Amino acid sequence: MSLKEQISSDLKQAMKDRDQLRIDTLRSILSAFTYKRVETGKEELTAEEELAVVAKQVKQRTDAITEFSKAQRADLLEKEQKEKDILVKYLPAQKSDVEIREIVRGIISAIPEGERNQGNAMKLVMPQLKGLADGNLVRQIVTEELS
User: Same structural domain for residues 78 and 129?
Assistant: no
Residues 110-145: tens digit of each pLDDT: 888 888 888 888 888 888 887 788 888 888 998 888
Highest mean pLDDT among 35-39, 47-51, 97-101: 35-39
User: Same structural domain for residues 63 and 115?
Assistant: no
Going by pLDDT thresholds of 50, 70 and 90, the confidence category of residue 11 is very high
User: Same structural domain for residues 22 and 65?
Assistant: yes
Helices (H), the chain: 3-17, 20-40, 47-70, 74-88, 97-110, 118-129, 135-146
What does the pLDDT read at residue 119?
Answer: 85
Which CATH number belongs to the domain containing residue 74 in this structure? 1.10.1510.10
User: Same structural domain for residues 81 and 104?
Assistant: no
Domain closes at, from 88, 119, 136: 88
Give dist(CA 121, CA 141) in Å, integer: 11
The total number of structural domains in the chain stands at: 2
User: Same structural domain for residues 27 and 77?
Assistant: yes
What does the pLDDT read at residue 12?
Answer: 95
Residues 61-77: tens digit of each pLDDT: 999 999 999 988 888 88
Which CATH number belongs to the domain containing residue 107 in this structure? 1.10.10
Domain closes at, from 88, 109, 137: 88
> Which range marks the domain in which residue 109 is found?
97-146
Residues 6+ apart with CB under 8 A from 131: 48, 51, 52, 55, 91, 92
Cβ-in-10-Å burial (0-12, 13-18, 19+) of 142 comes to: buried
Residues 20-43: tens digit of each pLDDT: 999 999 999 999 999 999 998 988
User: Same structural domain for residues 10 and 55?
Assistant: yes
Asked if residues 104 and 120 have their Cβ atoms less than 8 Å apart, the reply is: no
